[in-house]
């Protein structure tokens, strides 16, 4: 049976924590920052954990599930 390949686009966007949860940065940070308030930009700096349904799909793409 061939090896399962890691989906590199997902691997570049997420990190797997020690407990096996998946952490990613928030969307809407790339451009058009002048239209966003400083408080909104501050909130976008924080990382978020994926919810369980997306986590299952992401782990499958990473070759972990």
Specify the pTM: 0.76
> Is 2 inside a domain boundary?
no
Half-sphere exposure in the Cβ direction for 58 (13 Å, CA)? 20
> Is 42 inside a domain boundary?
yes
Contact, 29 vs 65, CB < 8 A? no
Residues near 32 by beta carbon (within 8 Å), at least 6 away in sequence = none
Per-residue pLDDT of the chain (65 residues; tens, 9 = 90+): 888 899 999 999 999 999 999 999 999 999 999 999 999 999 999 999 999 999 999 999 999 97
- What CATH number is given to the structural domain containing 56? 4.10.410.60
Range of the domain at 23: 8-62
- Tell me, rounded to whole angstroms, the distance of Cα 9 from its chain centroid: 10
> Is 1 inside a domain boundary?
no
- Please give the pLDDT value at position 65: 76
- Please give the pLDDT value at position 45: 95
Query: By three-state DSSP, how is residue 22 classified?
Result: strand
Kind of pairing between the strands at 22-25 and 47-49 = antiparallel
Domains in the chain, number: 1
């Amino acid at each position: 049976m061939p090896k399962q390949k890691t989906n590199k686009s997902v691997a570049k966007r997420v990190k797997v924590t020690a407990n096996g949860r998946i952490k990613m940065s928030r969307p809407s940070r790339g451009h058009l920052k002048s239209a966003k308030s400083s408080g909104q930009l501050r909130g976008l700096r924080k990382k978020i954990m994926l919810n369980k349904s997306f986590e299952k799909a992401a782990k499958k793409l990473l070759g972990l599930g």
